[in-house]
Amino acid sequence: MTESFERSVKEALEHRAAQEVPLSGPMGVGADITKRRKRRRAARMSAVALASVAVLGGVWIWSNAMPGETRSIEVVQTPDVTQEAKVPLDEASSWRHVPALVALAPTQQEAIDVHYAEELTWAHCMRDAGLTISRVEPSTQIKTPGSSWGVLYSFGLGRAPSFENVADLEKARPLPVPNKNLNGMTKHPDAENLSPDEDKRWQDAEYGDRSKRVVFANGSSPGDGCLAAKYQATFADGSEYVALQSAQDSVFAGLMTGLDNIPPLPTSTANDVVSCIKGKGVDAYYTSDGKTAYPTVVTPEWDGNPATEAAAEERLAEAENARIVCEQKYGVNKFFYSHAAPRLQKGFESVQADGDKLVAIKNARVEKARQVIAELAPLEPAK
C-alpha cells in the first residue's frame, strides 16, 4: 500500500507537470514584466467591473486572466455573496483558453453557478442558466436588435466595462431571467419522470419565453480575443443560438477545439454550417484535443431541454456505430457543438482522427465509422 500510494503521488505530480504550459510568446524578464503588468491591470479592471456590478446588483462571470492566460473564472454575486466558480482549467490544454463570459442577471438570487469542468461547457452552463445564446460579439458591448431580453456584456480580457457600457446594460433591464438558483435548480424536481413536453411546459412556465436571449461571450485568445467566429442556429422553439469562438479558445459553447486560426465568419455562414450539419441527421459530435473526448449531443430538436437531451442521450446509448464528427471547413478542423456529457463516453472506446475528421467509435467499429463519415457530403460554404 505504502509504495503503491507513494507511486500514485509521484504519478499525480508527474501528471501535473505534464499539464504545465510552456511560457508562450517572447520570453524574458521584460516580456514577463509586461505579462505581469497586464495581469495586474486585468485585476484592477476586474475590480472596476465588480464595482459596476454592485451598482446593478447583477451577476457577472468573467475571466480574470490575460489573453492566452486564462486560468480562472470567477462568479460573483453581489452584494454580499462572492463565490468562485469551479474551474480546473489546467486539466487539459484545450481548457486553458476559456472565453470570458459576463452574464448579467437582474436578481440577486440569480446565482449563475458555473459548473465548469471538462464535462460541462459553456453551452451547458448557459442552458442551465436558462439562457439561450442568441448573440455573441467579439467586442465590448452587444446590442441585439429585436431581442426581447438582453444583456450582455462581456469584455475582452484586459478590458473592463466602462460605466457607459454599464448604463447601456441598465437600459436593457428588466430582463426576464429565470428566477432560480441555477445550481441544479433549473430542472423540475421530478424532471426525470417528466415527458419532454411536460418538462418544456414546466420550463416555459418557469422561465417564460426563452427565445432570443442574449449571452455575450468573448474569448481569451491572443490579440484580446478579437479574432472571432460566430455561429448561429435557430432552434425549433424560435430561440436563436449564436456562439462566438475566438481564435485558440478551445471551447465556447462547445463549439470547437484545437484551433489555430479561425477566420471571422459571417453569421449567415455559421447558420448554414449548423443547419447543414443538423440536416445530416448527425446527432453527436466528438472532438479531441489528443487527450480527452468531448462527446456531445445535437439533435434537430435540441433546445436545451434536459428531457430532450436525455432522449438524445438514450438514442446515442443505443447506437452501435460511430457517430460523427467534424468537417474541415473554413480552417475549422475540429468542430463540435453543444455540451459535453461524459456519461456519453461510456461505451465508446476511442476517438480517432481520420484526416481532418474526428471519429468517435463505439465498439471500435472503425470501418463502419469511416463509412458513415464517407457518406457525409462536404459542407457547402455559405453563399
Partner 1 sequence: MGNARLSEADIDDLYRRTTPAAVRMAYLITGDQGTAEDIVHDVFIRLVLTSDAAKTWDNPGAYLNKSVVNEITSHRRRITARLKRQHRATAEQPPPVDELGQWQERDALLQHIDRLPVKTRTVLVLTYFYDHPDQEISNVTGWPIGTIKSLRSRGLKELRKDFAHDRVI
The footprint of partner 1 (CB under 8 A) covers: 1-2, 5-6, 8-17, 20-23, 27-29, 32-33, 35-36, 39, 65, 69, 71-72, 84-88, 90-92, 115-119, 291-293, 342, 345, 348-351
Orientation of helix 29-56 relative to helix 163-172, angle to 10°: 40
Compute the least distance from the CB of residue 28 to partner 1, in Å: 5
**Which one, 127 or 362, has the nearer CB to partner 1?**
362
Compute the least distance from the CB of residue 31 to partner 1, in Å: 9
**Which one, 2 or 205, has the nearer CB to partner 1?**
2
Compute the least distance from the CB of residue 157 to partner 1, in Å: 13
SS3 category, 358: strand
| DSSP string of 276-312, one letter each residue | HHHHTT--EE--BSSS-B--EE--TT--S-HHHHHHH
Q: Which residue has the cell 454592485?
A: 54
Question: What separation in angstroms does the CA of 229 have from each of 38, 244, 263?
Answer: 25, 5, 6
**Residue 295 region by backbone torsions, left for phi larger than 0, else alpha for psi between -120 and 50, else beta:** beta
Question: What separation in angstroms does the CA of 360 have from each of 93, 137, 150, 212, 348?
Answer: 20, 31, 37, 32, 7
Compute the least distance from the CB of residue 362 to partner 1, in Å: 12
Compute the least distance from the CB of residue 88 to partner 1, in Å: 5
**Which one, 84 or 314, has the nearer CB to partner 1?**
84
Alpha carbon distance, N-terminus to C-terminus of the chain: 64
CB 270 within 8 A of CB 230: yes
**Which one, 2 or 374, has the nearer CB to partner 1?**
2
Compute the least distance from the CB of residue 57 to partner 1, in Å: 23
User: Would you tell me how many other CB atoms lie within 10 Å of the CB of residue 275?
Assistant: 16
Give just the sign of the alpha carbon dihedral 353, 355, 356, 360: negative
**Which one, 152 or 157, has the nearer CB to partner 1?**
157
User: Would you tell me how many other CB atoms lie within 10 Å of the CB of residue 146?
Assistant: 8
CA distance 327 to 145: 32
Cell of 4: 503503491
Which residue, 236, 281, 208, 248, is CA-closest to 94?
248
**Which one, 93 or 144, has the nearer CB to partner 1?**
93
Compute the least distance from the CB of residue 311 to partner 1, in Å: 23
Compute the least distance from the CB of residue 8 to partner 1, in Å: 6
**Which one, 91 or 168, has the nearer CB to partner 1?**
91
Compute the least distance from the CB of residue 90 to partner 1, in Å: 7
Cell of 111: 446565482
**Which one, 67 or 150, has the nearer CB to partner 1?**
67
Where do the DSSP E strands lie in 208-277?
A: 216-218, 228-234, 240-246
Compute the least distance from the CB of residue 368 to partner 1, in Å: 19
- Cα 104 to its chain centre, rounded Å, is 17
**Which one, 4 or 205, has the nearer CB to partner 1?**
4
**Which one, 76 or 229, has the nearer CB to partner 1?**
76
Find all residues with CB under 8 Å of 339, minimum gap 6, and list them: 120, 121, 123, 124, 127, 254, 296, 297
Cell of 89: 482549467
